[in-house]
Amino acid sequence: MDPPYDRGFEKRVLEYLSDSSLVYEDTQIIVEASKETDFSYLQDLGFEIIREKTYKTNKHLFIEKAGKRGSMLRAIYPGSFDPVTFGHLDMIRRSGQIADELIVGVLNNKAKTPLFSVEERVRILEEVTKDLPNVKVMAFDGLLVEFAKQIGAKVIVRGLRAITDFEYELQMSQTNHKLEPEIETMFLTTSLEYSFLSSTTVKEVAAFGGDITQFVPELVVDKIEEKMKTKRRV
């Protein structure tokens, strides 16, 4: 489906398809829409997003009938991942061992100016997680619980590096639970060797020409070096 953008045609067609004999149990609907198009209504129509590809101005959504995958546990691990670190990858691997399917949700925060665009972060994460068959990468903006509801995720995974993280994360989890009582939050403590590590630390070390190979994958090292060279030229 590739209707004119931002005119509500996607919703009207999906409303029709939700009660149509055209859609079978194994039908997959692919929708092209603008990045800003809201699909939070999908669950009410009996659909769920199983995959999303985001581009510069638009996105592709892969949609199936909700519940098709039975009692499969789908979890979401959200973050900015600007850039993704070994600490993030450790959390992704461990979360992927708990959930049947793990969605790595890449936040597109328009109030900030990230080092990497959301499209770049998605591509990098897809590359560094390609050996994890049950992990998928999707971009999102807006409320996390709304995105979790859209994709049928029942669990939000959050990492705790130190006790100071807990108060903020507890408040967020309680707020999310108030908004969507059916979605739970699961806390995982960061592995000891990564308890100090953050994306901010990586960027600060890189900005002063420090060695970041022990913090991020080689692919990310190369990408950061390219960004830093561009900044110095400017």
Q: 64 in the Ramachandran plot: left (φ > 0), alpha (ψ -120 to 50) or beta?
A: beta
The burial of 11, by beta-carbon neighbours within 10 Å (0-12 exposed, 13-18 middle, 19 or more buried), is given as middle
Give the DSSP letter of residue 1: -
Distance, in Å, from the CA atom of 128 to the CA atom of 94, rounded to the nearest integer, reads 15
Element (H, E) at 145: helix 144-151
Closest CA to 182 of 150, 147, 143, 155: 155
User: Which entry of 53, 94, 123, 161 is annotated as an active-site residue?
Assistant: 161
User: Which entry of 59, 88, 136, 158 is annotated as an active-site residue?
Assistant: 88
Contact by Cβ (8 Å): 62, 92: no
Whether 88 is a known active-site residue: answer yes
Whether 123 is a known active-site residue: answer no
Whether 117 is a known active-site residue: answer no
User: Which entry of 65, 95, 121, 199 is annotated as an active-site residue?
Assistant: 199
Chain centroid to CA 114: 16
Whether 191 is a known active-site residue: answer no
CB proximity list for 85: less than 8 A, separation 6 or greater: 194, 197, 198, 199, 202, 215, 216, 220
SS3 83: coil
The burial of 8, by beta-carbon neighbours within 10 Å (0-12 exposed, 13-18 middle, 19 or more buried), is given as exposed
User: Which entry of 56, 110, 112, 178 is annotated as an active-site residue?
Assistant: 112
**Hey, which residues are catalytic here?**
88, 112, 161, 199
